[in-house]
Structure formats: C-alpha cells, structure tokens
Amino acid sequence: MWAGQLISNLGTQVSLYALGVWLFQQNGQLSAFAAVAVVVQLAKLASLSLLGRQLDRWPPRRVMLAANGLGSACTLGLAFTLMVSQSSLILVLLCIGLAAAAEAALVVTWSSQLARFVSKEQLGAASGLFAGSDGAVVMAAPLLGALLAATAGLQGVLFTDSLTSLIAVTCTLLVAWPQDLPAPLRKAPDFGNSDQRGVRRSLRALWSNRRWRPLLLINTLVVSVFAAVEIAFPAWVVAASGSLDLMRGLALAALGYAGGLWLWARVSRCHWLAWLRGVLLFQAVLLTGAGLVCFQQWQGVWFLAVGLFAAGVPVALGALQSLWLCWVPLDLQPRLFVGRYGLEWISRLGALLGMSLLADGVIAPLIRGNYGPVWLLDTLGRGPGRPTAMAIGLLGWILLLPLWRLWRPLGRLQVDENGC
C-alpha cells in the first residue's frame, strides 16, 4: 500500500512541476507557474469542505480507488488534449484542480487508515515512512520533472503520472484490508459530540479538546515553517552563492533526509515527544543562524547545518504523525483529519504567499533605506540574498517562541495518553 501511494504521489508532484514549467514557458510570467501551486491548495481545501461531511461514511478502500482513478483520468485526458491541440490555461488549471481534489480525499483517507495495517510497535516507523515520503517526493519532483520533460515531453510526463495512479489502484486492490480496529486505538469513551462533520466543525472539535489543541497548533506551525523554508532556501542560495552551491546543498539535504528517516525508525514509542521537542528546538536555532552573515561565510558550518536541518525534517514529521494516530481515536480520524489537513493546506498557502512578501516587501526595503542601527545591519549583512536569509532567520524565532507555551500541556499528555 505504502509503495503504491508513494509512486502515485511522486508521479503527481512530477506532473504538477512539469505543468508549472510548461505554463511559464507558454506565458512567460511567473504568476502562471505560481498559479499551479495556488490552484492545488485551493482545490484541496474546497474538496475537503464538500467531502468532509461524508468521507468517514464511505468505505475507505473505495474512496482510495476512486481518488486514484480520478487522478489518472484527469492527467490522461489532459495528455490526449495536448496531443491534439494547445490547451487553454483555464482547462489546464481545471484538470489540475480535479486531480488535487482527488489527492485531498486520498491523503485524508490513507492517513486515517494507516494504523489499521500496523501493530502498536510498528506505528512509529510506519508514521515516519508516511510523513517522510512527502518530503522526499518534494525534493525529488523538480529533478525528475525536468528530466522527464526534457526527454519525453509534457505528454510523456502526464502519461507517466496516469500510469503511477494505476499502479496505486493495483496495490489497493491486492492488499487485504483489516476489518477490526486495533484495541489501543479504539474510540475514546469521553469524546462527546460525535456528529460533527465538515472542516470548520472538525477544527472546532480539535480546538475544544485539551488533548488535541496543542498538537494542532504545533503541527500547523511546523508545516508553515517547513513550507516557507522549502521556497526560501533555493532562492537564498542561488542569489548568494550560485547554482553550484545549491546543487551541493540539495545533495547534502538529501543525505541528511535519508539519515533522518533511518534515525526515526529507531525511536521508541515512549520517546516520540522528547525527540519532537529536541529536533524542533535544534532546527529553530539553525534557522536563526541563517540570518547572520557570518553563518553564510563559514562554508563548512553552513553545509553541515543544511544536512542536520534536513535530517530533522522526517523526525519531526514522523513524530507529529505518530502522535496524531495515537491520540485521536481511529474511528474519528477520517472526520477529524479533514480539519487537520485543511488547516495544514491553508498554512502552506499562507507560507508560500507570506514568505515572498516578508523578504521582498518588508526586509529588502528596510535594508535599502538603511533603517535601523548600523551595527545590526552589518551583522545581518547587506549582500545578495540577505533579505531572504533574514526572513529564514525570523522563521527560527517564529518556530521557537510559541513552543515554550505548548510544551507544557503536551508534556502532561505524554503520560496520560501514551502510558510511557
């Protein structure tokens, strides 16, 4: 199951990247490339509003089959259309939106069914694979998208994406689905209003519960920071050091990410929260250091920090996914995960839009106008890429400061819920 969904997710992200590049080449405007990311996030949110009321009532296996089938049909239809004639921007974005809506239903369903397939002892490792594979796909998609587009063309990329969705359908059909709920994850007896459905009601239920509110806040904060780093880091490195250093940095990040997946698979259940706390604090320190110009000048330290930060990403995401699966009753997960993922995708969209506004619209004018003490500007630097580096440094404080208020309630729940 995991392998099939991983291949399908990789095919989807590769085709989205290739479509964004193709639209940019057709229109010559960066807004056309950004439109793909915006449409994907908006389509996911819209589909959650429509599907959130019914998703937990439908058989999960059929939902995953239908979602993969719809994604395959959209990309296949778009590929045939492009072979016949040049498609308009509206048609391309419509197909992307339908595929993204299918992906939203797929993500919520697969995430909420993960605990059915593994034992209590395997839950942490399975959560790490589930959450970590998304980051690996994001890192690999641009390279594979550029390679496939150059060799097979956009139509070849879309046909490949359609094929990966059919592979996921095959895996879903071949896997035997368990019928009984694992005993440790049965419905909590003290959860009151079980009739809440929809994104807003799901969020209200998560927010009103003392077990889930701090986890929801930390999850949203971490997803926002990681999404902002995802777009800011390449821009910073290219502007400050050039494409060669970016390639080296991405290679080290890939090695660090693989090391983080290996490390998380060996973290025991009772240490999930401790590892989450330590990794996020360490990553916050690394991000704040990016705002200092001396940090950029120490090349060895800089490359080491890139690898260490990347290693912490699958650990943090795996810990969050494990805590969600462990603390939310299994039969409530399809309903409540609608709100969880809805807030995640809203925060990602906000991070994509807000990071460029912070770097280009706020920090860059302040540097050009020499606002602030001279010693502070000299410490932060004034060269190429410094506004983006300072914005990344602020992300460290954004990640660090709210954590102090959230660790205390989470620490109490570690004993109450996990029994460690």
Give 388's contacts (C-beta < 8 A, 6+ positions apart).
232, 235, 236, 239, 359
**Residue range 104-142, pLDDT digits in tens:** 888 888 887 777 777 766 777 777 777 777 777 776 776
Answer whether 2-177 and 199-414 agree in fold.
yes
**Residue range 167-217, pLDDT digits in tens:** 888 888 888 776 654 444 444 444 444 444 567 888 888 999 887 888 898
Greater confidence (309 vs 268) lies with 309
pLDDT at 268 over 50: yes
CA distances from 281 to 176, 212, 397, 403 (A): 41, 21, 10, 8
Residues 6, 131 contacting (CB under 8 angstroms): no
Residue ranges covered by each domain of the chain: 2-177, 199-414
Q: What architecture is domain 2-177?
A: Up-down Bundle (1.20)
**In which band, very low, low, confident or very high, does the pLDDT at 251 lie, cut at 50, 70 and 90?**
confident
pTM recorded for the entire structure: 0.76
CA distances from 314 to 134, 262, 360, 394 (A): 9, 9, 30, 22
**In which band, very low, low, confident or very high, does the pLDDT at 312 lie, cut at 50, 70 and 90?**
very high
Separation of alpha carbons 408 and 279, rounded Å: 17
Q: What architecture is domain 199-414?
A: Up-down Bundle (1.20)
